Structure 1
């Protein structure tokens, strides 16, 4: 869908590469601009494990792109990069605010040579303001934004969620902004600057509880930790005899019928939020008596919204996940067969897949410079002088 759109990606870590990969999956020509030693995510991995020398972290957000290795601090790098800017539609960057300006690659400088350029900046907190110099990282923003404090039991420490949800949501918002700007450019003929940041993304993830808080609601966590801080009981995960089950938005009348216990109906729906801990505790006492398989049959009979609590291997084997064609794979020269998540959206019934494996460092430097009009001799000089790799 984005065939013919060229994207320069000055990104690292997760937010920026993931946003770039969304565009690459859709057919854009994404050029990953890396330092001579390689992007951070090439060598880093959370659990400290590599796949025959290849970082799983690099494989998750760098498919379908080309690699250009360049020393951005070398003054001889600027003119070739500006030449690439002239022929590009989008630039994405996730450097600290102001870093690319100091290198001559800021928005004001680039829009002067390419007024149609969409310039997307991805950051921790925004391009200015009191937190502009703070490190922007997922778990830090989960803490700052209220997300960690909203999770867990009332008597436990605040708990971050078990994935980098803020990074990924910010990436999707950045890609959405770029697509909107490209559409707007079709009408106006001029580009614009797009910004997405982790703090805004974290707040957006909490659109429901924050809207309550903005209008005077007290966001106290429940003692049971089952219901969220803003839903009545029962709502959440309960321990069964052999695992856990999740129940959502079930009436007290239905619970009375399910457990043959008139206590639930006697409370009254209007009191189900204030008395959520009592309700949760009583539900928990019933749920723990039976295995999950029995409960799901019972839940289905009573049309109760429920779901199994699955670990990652169970998710990988889940029939609906596989029916949705959620996984893809590619063969890597050194790491062998690698599995990855597929692009999350389908178009005409198809989900975009892997066209090219994540590239080796500088894999496409020569061809990209040639496309920018540089002769083989000029390219040889630039690489010999260690401007490009």
Structure 2
């Protein structure tokens, strides 16, 4: 399972989340991923969203750098670039998440490297794409949620647009990047040539909205429901309702079922074809009923009536949820100063198992000397590189 990509060599010039997460997906499956970092370390080593660290250790770094190796190379030093170039010319995959054109300036662009290593799969992960009017804009998850329509589609009608409460665009772009790399590697088996794979946050955000955009592209004009339906394009009910002591989410239920479950003949007075136009009234009627019982009471009642529903969990509930635990969703490793660090596991099962942590996220430059030795750079030559700061 963990050796599916054994023998595949990956050089990763990545930072933030999209690139490291894509690299980690490959590393989980056995690819030898070498992360190239500057002397100060990758950005994610010294940053977390809430500015919270575990004894000085970043959980943001921990979440997307397991099973990889780290080298330090100064890409402003020609000797550092030469080391990295030698590494890439022996690699199967290069992943980079710099701004478009950065590696070209260093002589490490796709055309330059493919001329010498035609089997190389070069994966460029960016904010908006390698060209176009937004090429040089900062690409970041919440900005792309706004630009792509995702934030505008979320929240109550009349309220401010609402970004999703997680970096869903970053992570989806990472998965698409890894998917593209695997497709290119498979194609290389037939053609003998690698190729250029490009994934970007904007395309990923649009892909997340494949259904609503299909409606919009074909003339359907939607609006958010003032009663809080969680989507502008679904019939009621489709959203979150308050109980007497919490919340439940109800989805895609017929008027007949609503009449039966709530014992309310009002639902039978509606034309089934008007469920979209009447969604606010339907949701308000449901909300009035929902206040009358506890979450547990409604859950038992809905289960008996085969309703589509789910509890609205916070993260405290999620991490102890029986199905989440049954799916073996979490892993942990020991850090010298921070102690036990818990993380999510690789999301896919293979033959009934999920790949785990073979090696903890590396310390900065932990494998530089090891990688140099594999390149045949040892003794005085290696020491000279360290002394000059070309590597670290």
TM-based fold match above 0.5 = yes
SS in structure 1 of the partner of residue 319 of structure 2: helix
> Does structure 1 residue 197 correspond to structure 2 residue 203?
no
2:182: which partner in 1?
A: 179
> Could you tell me whether the CA contact under 8 Å between 1:328 and 1:340 is conserved in 2?
yes
Give the counterpart of 1:232 among 212, 232, 235. 235
Unaligned runs of 5+ in 2: none
1:375: which partner in 2?
A: 378
> Could you tell me whether the CA contact under 8 Å between 1:16 and 1:122 is conserved in 2?
yes
> Could you tell me whether the CA contact under 8 Å between 1:15 and 1:122 is conserved in 2?
yes
Distance in 2 separating the partners of 1:143 and 1:266: 39
> What is the TM-score with the length of structure 2 in the denominator?
0.98
Give the counterpart of 2:40 among 24, 37, 42. 37
Which deviations, in whole Å up to 9, do the C-alpha atoms of 1:69-97 show, x marking residues without a partner? 01101011222212111210000000000
Matches within 5 A, 1:31-110: 31-110=34-113
Give the counterpart of 2:167 among 158, 164, 171. 164
Aligned length: 389
> Does structure 1 residue 118 correspond to structure 2 residue 113?
no
Q: Which runs of 4+ in 1 moved over 3 A?
A: none
2:320: which partner in 1?
A: 317
Give the counterpart of 1:220 among 223, 228, 231. 223
2:19: which partner in 1?
A: 16
Matches within 5 A, 1:131-170: 131-170=134-173
> Could you tell me whether the CA contact under 8 Å between 1:13 and 1:41 is conserved in 2?
yes
1:305: which partner in 2?
A: 308
Distance in 1 separating the partners of 2:108 and 2:230: 48
Which deviations, in whole Å up to 9, do the C-alpha atoms of 1:292-350 show, x marking residues without a partner? 00001110111101100000010000000000000000111111111000000010111
> Could you tell me whether the CA contact under 8 Å between 2:73 and 2:84 is conserved in 1?
no
- Offset at residue 227 of structure 1 (A): 4.4
Distance in 1 separating the partners of 2:317 and 2:103: 44
Give the counterpart of 1:384 among 370, 384, 387. 387
> Could you tell me whether the CA contact under 8 Å between 2:77 and 2:390 is conserved in 1?
yes
Distance in 2 separating the partners of 1:362 and 1:377: 19
1:273: which partner in 2?
A: 276
Which deviations, in whole Å up to 9, do the C-alpha atoms of 1:32-63 show, x marking residues without a partner? 00001100000001111111111010000000
- Offset at residue 219 of structure 1 (A): 2.0
Give the counterpart of 1:282 among 278, 285, 291. 285
Distance in 2 separating the partners of 1:229 and 1:294: 29
SS in structure 1 of the partner of residue 115 of structure 2: helix
Superposition CA RMSD, Å: 0.7
> What is the TM-score with the length of structure 1 in the denominator?
0.99
> Could you tell me whether the CA contact under 8 Å between 1:7 and 1:89 is conserved in 2?
yes
Give the counterpart of 1:291 among 291, 294, 298. 294
Give the counterpart of 2:267 among 257, 264, 280. 264
Distance in 1 separating the partners of 2:105 and 2:131: 15
Moved more, 43-52 or 140-149: 43-52
- Offset at residue 373 of structure 1 (A): 1.3
Distance in 1 separating the partners of 2:85 and 2:226: 58
1:5: which partner in 2?
A: 8
> Could you tell me whether the CA contact under 8 Å between 2:154 and 2:231 is conserved in 1?
yes
Give the counterpart of 2:255 among 247, 252, 255. 252
Matches within 5 A, 1:349-364: 349-364=352-367
Unaligned runs of 5+ in 1: none
Distance in 2 separating the partners of 1:148 and 1:227: 12
Distance in 1 separating the partners of 2:314 and 2:96: 34
> Could you tell me whether the CA contact under 8 Å between 1:234 and 1:249 is conserved in 2?
yes
